[in-house]
Amino acid sequence: MSKKLDQATQTLKPPRGRRTNGTGLSSTTIMDVAREAGVSYATVSRVVNNKEYVKSDTRERVLKAITSLGYVVNQQARSLAGGRSYAVGLLVRDLGSSYMGEIVKGIDDALSAAQYNLMLYTTHRRKIKERIYVNNLIQGMTDGLLLVLPENLEAYLETLDQTHFPYVLIDHQGLDERTPVVITTNWQGGYDATRYLIELGHRRIGFITGMMDMLSSQDRLNGYQAALRDHGLPVDPQLVYEGTFYQPGGYSGAQSLLQLPEPPTAIFASNDVMAFGVMEAVRDAGLRIPSDISVIGFDNISQASQVAPPLTTVAQPLEQLGREAVRMLLMRMNNPEQPIERSILPTTLIIRQSCDVPRNV
Amino acid sequence: MSKKLDQATQTLKPPRGRRTNGTGLSSTTIMDVAREAGVSYATVSRVVNNKEYVKSDTRERVLKAITSLGYVVNQQARSLAGGRSYAVGLLVRDLGSSYMGEIVKGIDDALSAAQYNLMLYTTHRRKIKERIYVNNLIQGMTDGLLLVLPENLEAYLETLDQTHFPYVLIDHQGLDERTPVVITTNWQGGYDATRYLIELGHRRIGFITGMMDMLSSQDRLNGYQAALRDHGLPVDPQLVYEGTFYQPGGYSGAQSLLQLPEPPTAIFASNDVMAFGVMEAVRDAGLRIPSDISVIGFDNISQASQVAPPLTTVAQPLEQLGREAVRMLLMRMNNPEQPIERSILPTTLIIRQSCDVPRNV
DNA sequence: TTTATTTATGCAAACGCTTACAGAAAAAGA
DNA sequence: TCTTTTTCTGTAAGCGTTTGCATAAATAAA
């Protein structure tokens, strides 16, 4: 390309004047509103931010100007000036599961009610350079961070804690008691489901765990074992299969449990997706649910009620988990000195049709 | 609260001086880097933005200062000054499905490769005031917008087109040929799957549609019908059941098809989720897949390979759909005058084990 | 060499907003 | 009525960048 042409393009650049939003349409600024309402721009700012000390009819006038001009604040400018971006970062592994979907739904609802924007960061696959990554987040892009089931947490938490950047963990126990988290009563959920099966009359109950590096998996297992013990039943390690939280884990787990010399009459999977795998394996073995084998899950994702037979499961209040996390985060953002909360939401046993009394009782 | 106390708090407010990021940790600015490298801040900016006219050893020096100080640009400021936010908005209904998950994965990958941030907007449930909403998006928050399967598109498109705001539609045909979209060959996918069944020997093939207000549903249906016609088979309306794209739709669709006086030997569901419903209904009817009934899906979500038997289906390149949409969007953002592209990605028939030759052949 | 060009750097203004500060207006006390 | 206090509004500075313009340094041409 010739130099001349280059210069020509140069000259064509828009003048620095009025901001055009990159779209050709110039956007209304606080100045325009001020002019329209016949006040200073500072007053407009006060109205927009709901500050005190504005005469009510002035406020009216400004508000009217705002709507008539269709003014909406420029977050970047606001953020630059005031140090708030009105955006929250959400860090997740991936988004494909309805588990994730429901949590995000809750987050999103609560956030938009509070007029906050949501920046999404997924960590799937990519090995991120934690330091830089987190730096980016806290470098004013967002005012706070929500982490759902974070993987190598230590890497984040160090930077986060050092800079006193507000964050909340979702469905993760954190490193210690001083980590702000929102979790559910996993132990109790495991206990309740198991007790339910016991009360139906089951004596041999198979259990398929989640990924055992997750505390929630351990809690569910512990709840299961505690219920057995409390009812005077043996805790047979043969009945526990280490799963993955994915469907194939449930399938092979059930296969292996059913091949036991003394197979269980009920199988408790640590999440619904694995329970679906269990159902498949049970059927493939020529058995019927619930008459031959009872199946119970965990999570209560929306599909759970749609399969046949509808799955009895332990409901996690996923959407509420997200909502609660946002509440906590906003709280921390506004009162950084507040003591750290840990919020524990209750699970509920949802009884549907995948469990029945065992055959031989 | 007493006035005195109020004043006291007033006095306690941090001085306006050095920006503290709201976290207590002051962040490094372009100025710090300039000082460290012994150049002007303008030069630092040039280096950061890869502009020409910077001596290579100066560039080195600046780069070194940047890494040593851990500097990362402040997007808000950059946006304010330069009119670019380096963020893209993503508008989706909800996130629970693996359909969505895979598209988002592609988007996210491509976006972060291009150093862009992702702002998430979900429209589920909430009846949004379109105008204000869209305004918000384009008010400098984002530089472009990606819409996945948008619902009441007209509302958005008007504002978007008026302001020449860059956007791309994903898996939606748009209003006319002048809408930039990324779609897949739905018609061809429907055709291919049907032809495959015909070639296996099937003569009566049931079809369960998606939501018929979506063009993609119509295309799949048309592909199915065309294949029948091309092979000299009758197009029997009895064999077409109007579904929903959700599992129960598939279940009841299959039930109804199987109850026909002359039931089909194969069922083609317009997406995998409904195909799962079909499989369930088939089994509940005491029939086997694929020996009694062949089942074929559409989408190739990850679960499709995990069910038993693994589902034969038409793969949509979902992740690539997202990736391609980002490519198009960035292109439009950088060259607004370019003619509008419509990108059509090919579907592929994935043959697994849910189809077989019909029994009576 | 001297002059014209090209390359490299710095200065300053602007982006749209928030907020400390100062001053005006209104309300409350004397 | 005149202070004092309180409420209201405007001015100006600053947030961290980008970028037009001016100028300096380096290079090429004469």
Tell how strand B167-170 and strand B205-208 pair up. unpaired
Q: Provide mean pLDDT across the span B60-76.
A: 90
Q: Are residues B173 and B242 in the same domain?
A: no
Residue B238 per-residue DSSP state: G
Q: Provide mean pLDDT across the span A289-296.
A: 96
> How many Å from the CA of A64 to C1' of D3?
38
Highest mean pLDDT among A9-23, A103-117, A222-236, B133-147: A222-236
pLDDT of residue A126: 55
Residue A140 per-residue DSSP state: I
pLDDT of residue B125: 54
Q: What percent of chain B has pLDDT over 90?
A: 62
Condensed to tens digits (0 to 9), the pLDDT of residues B228-239 reads: 999 999 999 999
Residue B144 lies in a domain: yes
Mean pLDDT of chain A: 87
Beta carbon of A19 within 7 Å of strand C? yes
Task: Tell me the pLDDT band of B7, cut-offs 50, 70 and 90.
Answer: very low
Condensed to tens digits (0 to 9), the pLDDT of residues A189-208 reads: 999 999 999 999 999 999 99
Q: Are residues B104 and B158 in the same domain?
A: yes
Cα B236 from Cα B76, distance rounded (Å): 60
Q: Provide mean pLDDT across the span A29-43.
A: 94
Q: Tell me: pLDDT of B361 over 60.
A: no
Q: Are residues A205 and A195 in the same domain?
A: yes
Q: What is the number of domains present in chain B?
A: 3
pLDDT of residue B126: 54
Backbone angles phi, psi at A343, to 5 degrees: -105, 130
Q: Tell me: pLDDT of B226 over 90.
A: yes
Tell how strand B117-122 and strand A87-92 pair up. unpaired
Cα B361 from Cα B358, distance rounded (Å): 6
Task: Tell me the pLDDT band of A26, cut-offs 50, 70 and 90.
Answer: low
pLDDT of residue A202: 97
Cα B237 from Cα A137, distance rounded (Å): 55
Beta carbon of A40 within 7 Å of strand D? yes
Q: Provide mean pLDDT across the span B5-32.
A: 50
pLDDT of residue B27: 77
Residue of B nearest to A162 (CA): B25
Helix (H) or strand (E) holding B105: helix B98-113
- Residue holding tokens 């349409």? A25
Measured between CB atoms, which of B19, B119, B280 is closest to A83? B19
The verdict on a CB contact (< 8 Å) between A80 and B87 is no
| 8 A C-beta contact, residue A58 and residue A33 | no
pLDDT of residue A156: 79
Q: Which residues of B touch A75 (CB under 8 A)?
A: 76, 139-141
Residue B78 lies in a domain: no
Nearest nt to the CA of A49 via C1' is C18
pLDDT of residue A124: 65
Q: Provide mean pLDDT across the span B15-22.
A: 42
Residue B81 lies in a domain: no
Nearest CA to A312 out of A280, A290, A345 is that of: A290
**Residues making up chain A, counted from first to last:** 361
Neighbours of A159 (CB within 10 A): 18
Note which residues in 199-218 of chain A have CB less than 8 A from chain B: none
The verdict on a CB contact (< 8 Å) between B164 and A100 is no
Q: Are residues A234 and A266 in the same domain?
A: yes
Q: Are residues B230 and B306 in the same domain?
A: yes
> How many Å from the CA of A155 to C1' of D15?
30
Q: Are residues A301 and A207 in the same domain?
A: yes
The verdict on a CB contact (< 8 Å) between A25 and B163 is yes
| 8 A C-beta contact, residue A68 and residue A39 | no
Mean pLDDT of chain B: 87
| C-alpha distances in Å from residue A32, one per residue of A69, A338, B302 | 8, 40, 52
Q: Which domain holds residue A30?
A: 14-72
Residue of B nearest to A303 (CA): B247
Condensed to tens digits (0 to 9), the pLDDT of residues A204-220 reads: 999 999 999 888 999 99
Note which residues in 111-150 of chain B have CB less than 8 A from chain A: 112, 117-122, 124, 126, 131-132, 135-136, 138-141, 143
Percent helix, strand, coil in chain B (nearest 5)? 45, 15, 40
* Cis before A309? omega within 30: yes
Measured between CB atoms, which of A94, A97, A140 is closest to B105? A94
Residue A354 lies in a domain: no
| 8 A C-beta contact, residue B170 and residue B182 | yes
pLDDT of residue A318: 94
Task: Tell me the pLDDT band of A131, cut-offs 50, 70 and 90.
Answer: low
**Worst-scoring range by mean pLDDT, B7-16, B61-70, B253-262?**
B7-16
* Bases of strand D lying below 7 A from some protein CB: 6-20
Task: Tell me the pLDDT band of A185, cut-offs 50, 70 and 90.
Answer: very high
The verdict on a CB contact (< 8 Å) between B164 and A23 is yes
Q: Are residues B233 and B179 in the same domain?
A: no
| C-alpha distances in Å from residue B344, one per residue of B147, B243, B299, B313, B324 | 16, 25, 15, 19, 10
Q: Are residues A194 and A291 in the same domain?
A: yes
**Residues making up chain B, counted from first to last:** 361
Residue B80 lies in a domain: no
> How many Å from the CA of A26 to C1' of D11?
26
pLDDT of residue B128: 54
Q: Tell me: pLDDT of A155 over 80.
A: no
Tell how strand B348-350 and strand B312-315 pair up. antiparallel
Residue B72 per-residue DSSP state: -
Q: Are residues A60 and A153 in the same domain?
A: no
Residue nearest to nucleotide C7 (CA to C1'): B53
pLDDT of residue A10: 33
Residue of B nearest to A332 (CA): B23
Task: Tell me the pLDDT band of A23, cut-offs 50, 70 and 90.
Answer: very low
Beta carbon of B18 within 7 Å of strand D? yes
Residue A195 lies in a domain: yes
Nearest CA to A120 out of B111, B288, B352 is that of: B111
Tell how strand B181-184 and strand B342-345 pair up. parallel
Q: Within 13 Å, how many C-alpha atoms sit on residue B56's CB side? A: 0
Q: Return chain B residues 68..107 having CB < 7 Å to nucleic acid strand C.
A: 77, 80-81
Cα B304 from Cα B289, distance rounded (Å): 14
| C-alpha distances in Å from residue A233, one per residue of A156, A188, A224, A236 | 43, 18, 11, 9
Neighbours of A16 (CB within 10 A): 6
Cα A105 from Cα B241, distance rounded (Å): 31
Q: Are residues A307 and A325 in the same domain?
A: no
Q: Provide mean pLDDT across the span A329-343.
A: 90
Condensed to tens digits (0 to 9), the pLDDT of residues B307-355 reads: 889 999 999 999 999 999 999 999 999 888 889 999 999 999 999 999 9
Question: Looking at residue A20, which CATH number applies to its domain?
Answer: 1.10.260.40
Question: Looking at residue A301, which CATH number applies to its domain?
Answer: 3.40.50.2300
DSSP characters over A162-204:
HTT--EEEES---SSTTS-EEEE-HHHHHHHHHHHHHHHT-S-
Q: Tell me: pLDDT of B42 over 90.
A: yes
Cα B338 from Cα A176, distance rounded (Å): 55
Task: Tell me the pLDDT band of A135, cut-offs 50, 70 and 90.
Answer: low
Backbone angles phi, psi at B301, to 5 degrees: -75, 165
Residue A221 lies in a domain: yes
* Opening angle at CA A172, ends A170 and A175, nearest 5: 125
Q: Tell me: pLDDT of A141 over 90.
A: no
Q: What percent of chain A has pLDDT over 90?
A: 63
DSSP characters over A86-128:
-EEEEEES-S-SHHHHHHHHHHHHHHHHTT-EEEEEE-SS---
> How many Å from the CA of A1 to C1' of C3?
27
Q: What percent of chain B has pLDDT over 70?
A: 88
Q: Return chain B residues 45..104 having CB < 7 Å to nucleic acid strand D.
A: 45-46, 48-49, 71, 73-74, 77-78, 80-83
- Residue holding tokens 């029945």? A356
Q: Are residues A306 and A196 in the same domain?
A: yes
Residue B350 lies in a domain: no
pLDDT of residue B12: 34
Condensed to tens digits (0 to 9), the pLDDT of residues A49-60 reads: 999 899 999 999
Q: Are residues A313 and A324 in the same domain?
A: no
The verdict on a CB contact (< 8 Å) between A101 and B80 is no
Measured between CB atoms, which of A83, A119, A132 is closest to B118? A119
For chain B, what is the radius of gyration of the CA atoms?
27
pLDDT of residue A20: 47
Task: Tell me the pLDDT band of A278, cut-offs 50, 70 and 90.
Answer: very high
The verdict on a CB contact (< 8 Å) between A96 and B94 is no
